[in-house]
Structure formats: C-alpha cells, structure tokens
Chains A and B, each alone.
Chain A
Amino acid sequence: MLRKTRWILALVALSILASSVYAEEEELFKEFEIRVIRPRYFIKRHRFELGIQAAAIVNQTFYYTYLATAIVGFHFSEQFSLELLGAYGYSQAKEDQAILQDDFDIKTEYTPTQLFYGASFLWTPMYGKYQLRNGRLIYFDTFLSAGGGMIGILEKYDYCQANQERSSQVVSYPYFEFGIGQRFFISRDDSIRWDIKSPMYFSNTADSSCVAGSAGQSFFNQNINLQLGYSRFL
C-alpha cells in the first residue's frame, strides 16, 4: 500500500480569509516543477459534518468507560472547522477492582465519566491518499483539535463506609481538550473517522469525599479518549 501526503504550511493555513483558493494553492506548490492540479476529490468547505462515534476512555485503571458520541460540525474551509459534540455512556468495573475488594478489602475510588459536551476547533493541516493493491484510492486527512466544555463525573460513593453513605450524583466540571484524528473518505459524502482526545479538568476532592460539606482540594484529571465512527457530510 502506497501513501502520499501533503502538508499545508502553517503560515498559509492562517490565511483563512483568502479569497482565491487557487492562488493560495498555486503559491504553495510553486517550488515544484511538475504538479498535478485537479478538482478536489472531497470538498469539506461550507459543508456540515454529522457524525456518530463510539468512544472508550482508555487510561482508567479500575474500570472501563464507553460513550456514544454525536458530532455536528461546520467546515469554514478545507482546513478549519468548528464542531459541537456530546457524549453519554456507562462504566464497568474491571476485574482488578473486584480482586482488590474481595481479597484485600481495598475499596478503590470509582468516579467514571458519564457524559461530556462541548465545542472544538479543528485544524486540518494535512491530507493524503493511500493506494490499495487493487489500485483503489482512499483519501484521508489529519486534523488537530482544541476545545472545551463540561464533563460529568458520576460519583457513586460506593467506596464509603455504610455509616458515611452519600447518594450518588453527577458532578460537572469544565474541561479543555486537545486531540488528533483522521478521516478516511469512503465516498464524496462519507468518511470513517477516528479521534484521540484528551479532556483535562480539575475536580474537587470534596465532591468525592464520603462526608458531604468537607473541605477539598483541586485535583488535575486527564482522560484519554479513543473514538471511532462515521461522518456524513451535507
């Protein structure tokens, strides 16, 4: 399988308001004596992107978290887009947690991410194509994202003693995130997309304390989300 990629230089990429895409691209490739110039296979500019994804948070020690994600994006140009996303899911304890509790009577903290919603700004500095053995071409692009929103953490308090019981609740914190991803264009309207996102947020230890109203400290948290799904361009 062959791969060919091209980078859009950052300097030029900033000229988002450039009126002539042709002149911009012409400038980019002026150093090459021979170029291929043809209508773009997949056009994102001024199109909406609707996507669904399955996400897994992969850096949690004692439980698995899976979320269903929906994305609505708008592409201002081939390089820049803004998207809104929301996710909701469930968690499941890993076997390790049960072993610790049953064999060693150690209760681990169980504060899984239940939902998040927010907005991201995407920059696509690179697109390319793969050629499969049968000659078929698959176009793809690679993007970086940055954004923020609210993340909802489920506090179950099941690690508390019986006499300290608090009713479970979803505690929301603002988060910011950075990510990277790729779209593989399977037709002129459809793509398969993966993202790795890293939402970061500061939680308050008081929210997970078994005693309501106790003083807490700010605590840094970072999730690593692996997301895979499908996008339709309108």
Chain B
Amino acid sequence: MAWADLRQGRIYEQTGRFDLAAFEYFDTLRKGAKDGDKIQAEFELASSLQTMKLFYSASYYFGQVLVNHSGPNPYRARALEALTKIDAEYPLGPSFMQSLLAKGLDPNATPEASRAFFYYYLGKDQFAKSHWGEAKNAFARITLKSPFFVKASFHLGIIQALENEPAKAIRSFHNVIRHANRLGNAEWLREQATINIARIHYEAKDFVRAIASYAKIPRNSDNWLTALFEASWAFFLMENSNNTLGNIHTLHSPFFDNRFFPESYILQAVTFLRLCQFEQVKNSVDAFKTRYTPVLSELSKILDEAKTNPNKMVDWVRAYNSQSLQVYRNAWPIFDALARTDVARQMLSFVANVDKELLILEGTPEAWRSTGLRGTLNEFLNGKKAAIVKDAGRALYQESQFYLQYLSDLSEQTKLIHAELMLGKIEQLRRKLQIRTTPKKENFIGGMQPLVIGQNLEYWPFEGEYWEDELGGYVYNIESQCKK
C-alpha cells in the first residue's frame, strides 16, 4: 500500500532517520504508486536526500517532480524553490535545465514567482549561443528578490558591455557587487564584476578609473595578477612607463613562475622601445623566447595527445591542481591557466561534490542497495559526472588551442621586434607607439595607487631580492633615452 509506505516515511523523518525515510519513499515509487502518491513520494524522497546533503541526487528527484506530471501539481513551486536553493551552492548547470525541457517541462505551467530558475538558465543558454537579445530578455525578467538576480545581472552586464552600453553595464556590475553576498562564491563574483567595470573604463579610454577599479582586487585574490597585467596596459596607454614596467616586474617574479602571462614580455619590450632602451628591448624578447618556446613546443604535443580523447585535459588539470602532475613540466603554466578557467573551476568543484555524494551513498543502509535506490542514484551521478567531464575536456581542449594560437602570434611579434632591431628600423616601429590616448596624466605610486600629495610613503629599493610583501608595489625609475 503506497499510503502505508508514505506514512512510514514520514514517521522516520520525524525521528530524524532520513535514510530510512528515503528508502520508504523510494519503495513507494518502486511499487508503482500513481498520481498524487507518486508526486508526493518523489518530492519527499528528494527532500530527504537534500537533508542528507545528497544535493545532486535530490535535484534528480526534484526534476522528476517537475517533468513527470501533467495537470495540477501541488509540489511544482516547492520543487523549484528547492532546486533554486541547491543551485545557489551547487550549480546544476545548463544541461540540467536542458534535460528537463527535453523531458517536456513547461515553464508556463509554473507560477510567475518561481520562474526565475527557468529565465536564468534560458538566458544562459541563449548567452552561450550569442543570442544577446533573447538572453537579455530572459535575464531582465529576474527580479531583485530572486536568488538568480546576481548571476543574471552579471551576464546582463556582459551583454550590455558587448552592445556598447557602458553605463548600463556598469550599473549591472554594481548590482553584482552590491548583492553578491547572497551567494556562496560572493568574493569571486564581486572581483569579476570589478574587473569588468575596469575593462569598460579601459575601453572608454578612461584609464585612471580603470586602474582605480583594478586596484580594488585584493592581493590575495586569484584575480590579482590579471588585474595587475591589464592595469599595466592602461599605464602603457597613459604613458606611465615606469608603472607599466613595475607591474610587469611583479608578474615576472619567481613567485609566479607557473603563471601564464606571455604578453607581459611583449608589453615590456614595447615599453622599453618607447623609452629607446634598446638593449632592454632585446632582453625582453630573449626572455620571452627562453620562457615560452618550450611551453609552445609542449603545448603542441599536449594537443596532439588529447586530440582523440579530450578527457585527458581534465585528468592533467586535476593532477596539476592536486600537485601530482609529473608530465609536460614545461607546460605547467598552461595547466595553471586552464585550472583557473571557469570551466575547470566549475568542473572540479562539481566532480568533488559528486564524489562526496558517491561516498555518502556507499554508507547508506543495505536496503538502498537491494531496492535499487543506490544503483539509481549511482547511475545518475556517474552519468552526470561523465557528461560534465566530457564537456569540460572539450572546452579545455579548445582553450588550449586558443593558447597555442596566442603564443604563436606573440612569438611572431617578438620576431618582428627582433628583426626591426637588427635592421635598425626600430625608429619606425617606435613612432607607431607614440599614441597619445589620454589627455589626463596622473602620477601613481606602486600598487596601482595614485600619488596623494602629503601622503606618507615608504620606499624600498629592489636589489635583486623579491619580497612577497613588495609584489605589486614596484615602480621603475628609468628615463627615456630617445633623442629629443
């Protein structure tokens, strides 16, 4: 009797035995419960799994509640609410929503208040296809109260920036900064939004503001070196060569041997070129070759090896992250860069969470195995994991192809600079760099901070020894050698 199993499940729930309750609800389903009992059993099973911290497993049954039933469904809104909550901590990904839609989920059958979940994933899907208009419409329908508001604002900001609406984009990113605390990865989102604001100012040639935004990224953040590097371009365009070179000095410190900023050598070379420090130009070009020629060569081998099996990319990135990678030593900066991509971060976090759930499943009562509940969830989790790993492998492979192209292009640029140096035509190249882009000239100290008159400063000379606390604070002190 289905109702008897449901009642037993509720009794177990009341005594805190959610594992036994889940079994009773699953048993109800296994025995072929119909209609109301079935929906209730699915919903209660999902809720029990959620309480047991089996979040992805719970998402499977909450999804069933949404798709398996036509007509009135008293659990639809609560299931969506639960999925929204799970998604905030453990992103379910667009594929989850796609699978629900493929199974016949009708967003219009959902109360308006619960539709943010659909709008967000619909927007994300359209965003991935570069359908900006549709994506924007979907994101714009998510209200401030929704847990999806922050992530939707972030995407909206990107679209507005791409559509050349900088003021609106900045507003959207400020929304992210203001409300990011609602989500688990608040700091990361806030920093990404700040960097995007900096980029918008940079695009608008408002370099002072761009640098002020980059300076907000804390030193201990994963985004800090990116901010430092991008700010050095802003300094370059402001003709603050000493700050450009100072930032690059940090990027080239031994602390960041495995970080991937090849373009910093080109920027360093052209900055020296602008100052007519020709010997230094040559040094920068040589340093690029020394550091990145072996990377380029190993990256080609990596792409060859992973061509037929992109999942290898995931294995290498995971091994790099756990410091157990033994191969392709010269290409570790590539693995480091790949490990920092959103794809890899999300995949690694997802796999870790799924593995955690699989481990919890191992310890569930024997009845879970004998009735097939454990098998069903194992199959679901492993299938989901395999799909995510496969997608991530493909994405990481594509990213690596991009790095290969990027490195090849930079390598060509160094050859050009070198050839011009050899041919004595460097003056022509140098003249091309005399691009006055900003009327505003401002003095900066280290750390991307503007000089404030009257401020107490401390100076530390760099005499060949890198100090961790000094990273990001370097400023060069060289003058142009160009003839007036």
- Which residues of B sit under 8 angstroms from A127, Cβ to Cβ? 458
A131 interfacial by beta-carbon distance below 8 Å: yes
A35-B468 in contact (CB<8A): no
Residue in A closest to B461 when the chains form the complex, CB atoms: A32
| Residues from 158 to 196 in B contacting A, C-beta threshold 8 Å | none
- Which residues of A sit under 8 angstroms from B296, Cβ to Cβ? none
B456-A37 in contact (CB<8A): no
A28-B459 in contact (CB<8A): yes
Residue A22 contacts which of B451, B469, B473, B475 (CB distance < 8 angstroms)?
B451
A34-B476 in contact (CB<8A): yes
Complexed CA–CA distance, A139 and B390 (Å): 51
Residue B460 contacts which of A20, A33, A36 (CB distance < 8 angstroms)?
A36
B455-A37 in contact (CB<8A): no
Most buried by B among A22, A35, A37: A37
B310 interfacial by beta-carbon distance below 8 Å: no
Residue in A closest to B460 when the chains form the complex, CB atoms: A36
Give the bracket for the number of chain A residues in contact with chain B.
Answer: 20 to 34
Most buried by A among B459, B474, B478: B459
- Which residues of B sit under 8 angstroms from A133, Cβ to Cβ? none
Q: B481 to nearest A CB, angstroms?
A: 13
Complexed CA–CA distance, A104 and B151 (Å): 91
- Which residues of B sit under 8 angstroms from A129, Cβ to Cβ? 469
Complexed CA–CA distance, A21 and B455 (Å): 8
Residue A37 contacts which of B249, B465, B475 (CB distance < 8 angstroms)?
B475
Residue B455 contacts which of A35, A39, A137 (CB distance < 8 angstroms)?
A39
Complexed CA–CA distance, A20 and B454 (Å): 7
B453 interfacial by beta-carbon distance below 8 Å: yes
- Which residues of A sit under 8 angstroms from B246, Cβ to Cβ? 34
B284-314 interface code vs A (CB 8 A; 1 in, 0 out): 0000000000000000000000000000000
A34-B477 in contact (CB<8A): yes
A32-56 interface code vs B (CB 8 A; 1 in, 0 out): 1111111111010100000000000
B446-A131 in contact (CB<8A): no
B457-A6 in contact (CB<8A): no
Complexed CA–CA distance, A78 and B456 (Å): 9
- Contact status of A32 and B462, CB under 8 A, knowing A37-B475, A137-B469: yes
Complexed CA–CA distance, A129 and B447 (Å): 19
A38-B468 in contact (CB<8A): no
- Which residues of A sit under 8 angstroms from B463, Cβ to Cβ? 32
Q: A134 to nearest B CB, angstroms?
A: 11
Q: B255 to nearest A CB, angstroms?
A: 11
A90 interfacial by beta-carbon distance below 8 Å: no
- Contact status of A25 and B476, CB under 8 A, knowing A34-B462, A38-B446: no
Most buried by A among B453, B463, B469: B469
A30-B459 in contact (CB<8A): no
Seed contacts A29-B477, A33-B462, A131-B469; 18 additional CB < 8 Å A-B pairs:
A2-B467, A4-B465, A4-B467, A29-B459, A29-B461, A30-B477, A32-B462, A33-B476, A35-B459, A35-B462, A35-B475, A38-B447, A38-B449, A40-B456, A78-B456, A129-B469, A135-B468, A137-B469
Interface residues of B (CB under 8 A from A): 246, 249, 445-447, 449, 451, 453-463, 465, 467-470, 473-478
Interchain residue pairs with CB less than 8 A apart (11): A6-B461, A32-B462, A32-B477, A33-B476, A34-B462, A34-B475, A34-B476, A35-B461, A35-B462, A36-B459, A37-B473
